[in-house]
């Protein structure tokens, strides 16, 4: 692994409160991974073997139905961590597909390391779990407390770097609406017909 990648991962872990020994343990098993656009990291139904630290790029987790529909679970981008806690905790196959949406540089970390931390009740595991829990709470509130128009505006306000990097289909799926509804909302917002803040 290059020194730069090593430094970015070490800095991220330090921000989460990891001590030097823990950081060294992580660096020792870390493997760099350079992937092209639309590369599948994890198939739905596959047992995950790694978690990931995304140095730069864009990744997407989605649920696939038997009818061929796709429901966006989450987007991940620069300096993000990707851990499937449901699979890790239950030792079960992944319920979603994980892929790159752009050329991406990642660092692979064996899931066994996180399983070991969980058994030891390691402080870093608890920090990562709490971080994920807070994100889920925010996402739940985002979906339940706002209209589709407000959700689009909030997403655009909070994640402007993502708006131009994902398709309308993916955005609509993440917002819990259809592509047709998204198109209509965009037109109404552009014309000033609706105010998303109301």
| Cα–Cα nearest to 33, from 121, 98, 88, 107 | 107
Q: What is the pLDDT of residue 164?
A: 84
Predicted structure pTM score: 0.87
pLDDT of residue 35: 98
pLDDT digits (tens, 9 = 90+) for 88-139: 999 999 999 999 999 999 999 999 999 999 999 999 999 999 999 999 999 9
Look over the chain and give the mean of its residue pLDDT values, rounded to a whole number: 92
pLDDT for 190 equals 82
Q: Does residue 196 surpass a pLDDT of 90?
A: no
Residue 37 has pLDDT above 70, yes or no: yes
What per-residue confidence (pLDDT) applies to 68? 87
Structure tokens at 118: 């969980």
Up-side HSE of residue 145: CA atoms within 13 Å toward CB?
8
Ordered structural domains, the chain, with CATH: 5-121 (2.60.120.10)
């Amino acid at each position: 692994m290059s020194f730069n990648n090593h430094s970015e991962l070490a800095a991220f872990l330090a921000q989460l409160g990891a001590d030097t020994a823990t950081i060294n343990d992580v660096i020792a098993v870390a493997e760099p991974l350079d992937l092209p656009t639309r590369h599948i990291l994890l198939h739905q139904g596959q047992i995950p073997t790694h978690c990931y630290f995304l140095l730069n790029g864009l990744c997407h987790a989605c649920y696939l139905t038997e009818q061929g529909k796709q429901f966006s679970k989450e987007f991940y981008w620069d300096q993000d961590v990707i851990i499937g806690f449901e699979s890790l905790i239950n030792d079960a196959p992944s319920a979603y597909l994980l892929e790159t949406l752009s050329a991406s540089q990642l660092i692979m970390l064996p899931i066994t390391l996180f399983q070991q931390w969980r058994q030891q009740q390691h402080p870093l595991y608890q920090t990562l779990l709490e971080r994920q829990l807070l994100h889920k709470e925010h996402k739940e509130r985002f979906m339940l407390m706002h209209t589709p128009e407000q959700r689009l505006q909030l997403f655009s306000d909070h994640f402007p770097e993502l708006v131009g990097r994902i398709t309308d289909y993916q955005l609509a799926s993440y917002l819990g609406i259809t592509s047709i509804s998204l198109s209509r909302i965009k037109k109404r917002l552009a014309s000033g017909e609706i105010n998303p803040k109301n």
